[in-house]
Structure 1
Amino acid sequence: MTATARPRKRLVVLVSIGFAVLAALVGVGLYGLVLAPAPTTPTTADDPTPASPSTSVAGPTSPSATLPPIRSTTNAESFARDAARALIDWDTATDFTPADHAQVVVDAGDPSGTETAGLAADIRSYLPTAAAWSTLRTYSTRQWLTIDEVFVPASWPEAEAQAAPGQLLPGTIAYTVKGTRNRAGVVGAQPQETSRPITFTLFIACEPSFDVCRLLRLSEVDNPLP
């Protein structure tokens, strides 16, 4: 069944009631995500941004280049893996901006637009700000995700069981991604690389609510559904 065949009321219920039920059941917030350092943030073991910029920056990509979309699939776990990589992977030594990367993930969201504002807010907090991106670009910083595990949180069956009829879209499921966030850059002529563990939960709706899986919302970084 397509998204247009589903009543808007059901989608609104998912936002206003369904996620409130999940938060009450498992005690996890879905808002206010944190990731990117500000340009003035000092260098730490978790962030390869150096104290002074390199004079060598890799050349940009072709202006006609576009980021690949998240692959359409009815397999929720496969979609979760692809969406997680699209969310975390980026390279400042290209012409792409944080907005370009965010748009790829938004495009895989709720096609009715009901979820778009909330999902966009989640995504923005996973990505560097425009100012931080400019600073990271001077070091040709790139970031990528190494996935260790993708699994349905232990609390999800309980959340489904305690949700009243109509509080969750049919085909809704949560997947937690556990892995490593890697960053690499160049300081002068010296390459640097750092990594740290990362975990987060993606809330996804697939068939019968949508023809293919769609991303509804994201948990806070390192505050996944238990």
Structure 2
Amino acid sequence: MDPAASEDRRRRRLIIAAIAAGLTLLLLVGVGVYGLLRGHAPTTAPTPSERASETSSTGADPTPGASPAPIPQNVGPEAFARAVAQALFAWDTASGNSPSDYAQVLADVAHGSEVDALVGDVRAYLPTAEAWTQLRTYATTQWITIDEVVVPQAWETAVSQAAPGQIPDGATAYTITGTRHREGTWGTEPVEASRPVAFTVFLVCTPEASARGAGTRSCEVLRLSQLDNPLR
């Protein structure tokens, strides 16, 4: 095989991953368990006008198709954590939706006191507007396959050592490991890229007074760890 052709194929298969890796915002510092749940700097959620501006800058169709699906909240803690993970990683640049549309789905299930901070966490996982514009030229889609969902030992230790009221009632954490997949096209040739990922979802589930009956619990997201810097 021509070495030049082989190298060109390899470059094309990596292009989708490389674009986002270079442009996606990352959180600058990690947060400890207690700081993660209490005492954070607020991050302002995008306003409707900002979202409209972002949609324009990313070239999204002004009359998009289906919006991202909402996250079910009455499915139990582990199932909720899995649903959050799927929503966090699943997007399609050809859908007509913008990064803010995908972020909004997660903001809709945020715990009231943590909405602003969670929006900041989510933004670190999603492509920037500039990266989104480039990824759209390859009709890029992304999703995750989940391998394992576990309550990390560090969380269990934190709970056992926390003072009363320091951690919200019903709060828990799940560390999720899996593989992030991306597909797109380079010219007329399909290309794909994948890599392992790990992160922690901090959530709280509380009893919900409704006609659904006793035992119904409604879950909300508290925070997300840095990507690839989960609790263990």
**What residue is the counterpart of 2:175 in the other structure?**
176
**Moved segments of 4+, more than 4 Å:** 59-62, 208-211
Q: Would the aligned equivalents of 2:36 and 2:223 in 1 still touch at CA under 8 Å?
A: no
Distance 2:174 2:36 in 1: 17
**What residue is the counterpart of 2:227 in the other structure?**
221
Q: Which runs of 5+ in 2 are unaligned?
A: 1-31, 39-59, 210-216
Q: Would the aligned equivalents of 1:171 and 1:209 in 2 still touch at CA under 8 Å?
A: no
Q: Would the aligned equivalents of 2:64 and 2:95 in 1 still touch at CA under 8 Å?
A: no
Distance 2:206 2:172 in 1: 11
Distance 1:167 1:125 in 2: 26
Distance 1:216 1:22 in 2: 7
Distance 1:21 1:221 in 2: 14
Q: Which has the higher helix share?
A: 2
The reply to whether residue 108 of structure 1 matches residue 109 of structure 2 is yes
Q: Percent identity?
A: 49
**What residue is the counterpart of 2:162 in the other structure?**
163
**What residue is the counterpart of 2:35 in the other structure?**
20
Cα distance per residue 1:14-48 (max 9 Å; x no partner): xxx9722889xxxxxxxxxxxxxxxxxxxxxxxxx
**What residue is the counterpart of 1:86 in the other structure?**
87
TM-score, length-scaled by structure 2: 0.70
Distance 1:182 1:21 in 2: 28
The reply to whether residue 131 of structure 1 matches residue 114 of structure 2 is no
Cα distance per residue 1:79-123 (max 9 Å; x no partner): 00000000001010110000000000110111x3x2111000000
Aligned length: 177
Q: Would the aligned equivalents of 2:33 and 2:158 in 1 still touch at CA under 8 Å?
A: no
Kindly indicate whether structure 1 or structure 2 has the higher relative contact order, using CA contacts under 8 Å at least 6 residues apart: 1
The within-5 A match list for 1:196-207 is 196-207=195-206
The 1:209–1:166 alpha-carbon spacing in structure 2 relative to 1, beyond 3 Å, is farther
The within-5 A match list for 1:36-51 is none
Distance 2:202 2:34 in 1: 10
The 1:22–1:115 alpha-carbon spacing in structure 2 relative to 1, beyond 3 Å, is closer
Q: Would the aligned equivalents of 2:91 and 2:141 in 1 still touch at CA under 8 Å?
A: yes
